[in-house]
Amino acid sequence: MGDSEGHPRSSGSAHDAWATPERRALRDLVADFTTREVVPHLARWEDDGALPRALHARAGELGLLELGFPAAAGGVGEHLDACLVAEQLILSGGSSGVCAGLFTHGIGVPHVAAAGDPDQIARFVAPTLAGRMIASLGVTEPGAGSDVAAITTRARREGDEYVVDGAKTFITSGTRADIVTTAVRTGGDGHRGISLLVIETDRPGVSRSRLRKMGWHCSDTAELHFDGVRVPATNLVGAEGTGFRQIMVNFAAERLSMAVQAYATAQRCVDLTIDWARTRRTFGAPLAQRQVVRHQIAEMARVTTVARTYVRDVLARWQAGHDVVTELAMAKNTAVAACDAVVDRAVQLHGGMGYMHGVEVERHYRDARILGIGGGTTEIMDEVVAGRIGLDG
C-alpha cells in the first residue's frame, strides 16, 4: 500500500506540512481507529444504512471531531488536519461514505462556531465536537439545489420565536441529526433574504424520511419537512439576512474536503489494484507482468498524484488567506476527474471480482459518483472558473 503520507510508495518530503511529527502521529491514530473500529463493521453499516452514534462518541473521545474548528469554539488545528483525518481514514480501508456520515459536523456547525455566540457554542458546537450530538446542514430543497438564493423554506418572526415552514432534501445524516443548521427565508426574494437558523429535530412539526442512494450507503440521507415548527430566536446564527454569505464562505472548506476524499479514494484504489495485479495470475503469470495492465496502473498512479499535489497546494494557499476561488473549483474538478477514471479502471482490472457487492473497489466505484455532485457540481465549478478567467468581459 502507499505510505502514511498518501504518496504511492515514496518517502515524501521532510518539509511537507502534511508530514510533520505531529501529523504523522495523527495519521497513526486515524489508521488505528479505522482498522479497529471502522473496517470490521463497515459492511454491516452499509446494510444498515447508517453509522452508529457510538462511532461519533469514540471519534469525539479521540479528538478527531474538533480539528479545524476555532479555539474559541473548542476546536484545535487547521482545516488541513481535518482533511488529513479523512484522507487517512480512506487510505486505511474506510470510505468517503464513512467520512460523510461521521464528519457531517464539518458542514453542520462551522457557521455556528464562526458566529461566536457563547450560548450557541455551548448548546450546539461543544456537544457536537465531543461526539454527543450529531449536526447536519439543511440547504438543498426539492426545488432549489445549486441555486441557493432560490430557497423557499420560510421562517417568520413571531415575538421571541421563528415559525418555520418548508422542506429540505438530500440532507446528509438527516435521519440521525439532533440539530440542522437550516437556510431559511426571513426576508424578501434573493440572497439577501436568507438567514441561518439552528433547528432541533425533536421540535414538534419536524418530520423526516430516509432516502435511498446509489452509494454512500452507510451515510444516511433524508428529506426534512417543517410544518409550523417553532424555534427560539436565540437559534438565529449571526444576523438576519447574512445566511447566504455564511453558506458561501463555508463552501470553500467543503469543496476542499471533497477534493481530498476524491484523491484519497483514487489512491486507495491504486493501492488495491497494485496488490491485486501482483497476486492475480492469468495464463500462468501475474497480471502485474502484462504490459497493458502495467501501463493502466501507471496512468492511474499518475493522475492520482497530480490531483493530490494540486489539491494540497491550493489548500495551503487558501489557509494562507490567498484568493483561490478559481483554483478551488479547478482543484475539486481535477480530483473528481482523477477519482472517476481510477475507480473505473480499478473495477475493470479486478474483472468479475470488481463487480461483486462487498468488494472494496466496488464500494469506492459507487461512492465516488457523488463527489462530482456534492459541494457544487462539476458544471457549477466550471462556471465559476469561466466567470473568473474573463469570459464575461
Taking each helix axis from N to C terminus, what angle separates 291-319 and 243-279, rounded to the nearest 10 degrees?
Answer: 150
Place 11 in a pLDDT band, splitting at 50, 70 and 90. very low
Amino acid 4: pLDDT: 40
| Other residues' Cβ atoms within 10 Å of the Cβ of residue 146 | 13
Average pLDDT over residues 297-316: 97
Phi, psi angles (nearest 5°) of residue 280: -80, 125
Q: Are 293 and 299 in contact, with CB atoms under 8 Å apart?
A: no
- b/e for 148-184, b at 16 or more Cβ within 10 A? beebebebeeeeebbbbbbbbbbbbbbbbbbbbbbbb
Phi, psi angles (nearest 5°) of residue 63: 80, 20
Per residue in 251-299, pLDDT tens? 899 999 999 999 999 999 999 999 999 999 999 999 999 999 999 999 9
Task: Classify residue 389 by its DSSP letter.
Answer: T
Find the DSSP H helices in 92-182: 96-102, 105-108, 110-115, 118-120, 126-129
Strand positions, DSSP E, the chain? 135-138, 154-158, 161-172, 179-185, 194-200, 206-211, 221-232, 236-237, 281-282, 285-286
Per residue in 108-156, pLDDT tens? 999 999 998 999 999 999 999 999 999 999 999 998 877 888 899 999 9
pTM, rounded to two decimals: 0.94
Amino acid 149: pLDDT: 85
Amino acid 9: pLDDT: 46
Burial class (CB within 10 angstroms; exposed 0-12, middle 13-18, buried 19+) of 383: middle
Amino acid 10: pLDDT: 46
Q: Which residues pair with 171 in a beta bridge?
A: 222
Q: Is the pLDDT of residue 3 over 50?
A: no
Amino acid 143: pLDDT: 86
Average pLDDT over residues 99-108: 97
User: Residues of the chain with pLDDT > 70: what percent?
Assistant: 96
Q: Are 347 and 367 in contact, with CB atoms under 8 Å apart?
A: no
The answer for 376, left when phi > 0, alpha when psi is -120 to 50, beta otherwise, is: left
For 144, residues 6+ apart whose C-beta sits below 8 A from its C-beta are: 150, 151, 152
Q: Is the dihedral of CA 291, 296, 299, 304 positive or negative?
A: negative
The residues annotated with a catalytic role in the active site are 254
Amino acid 146: pLDDT: 76
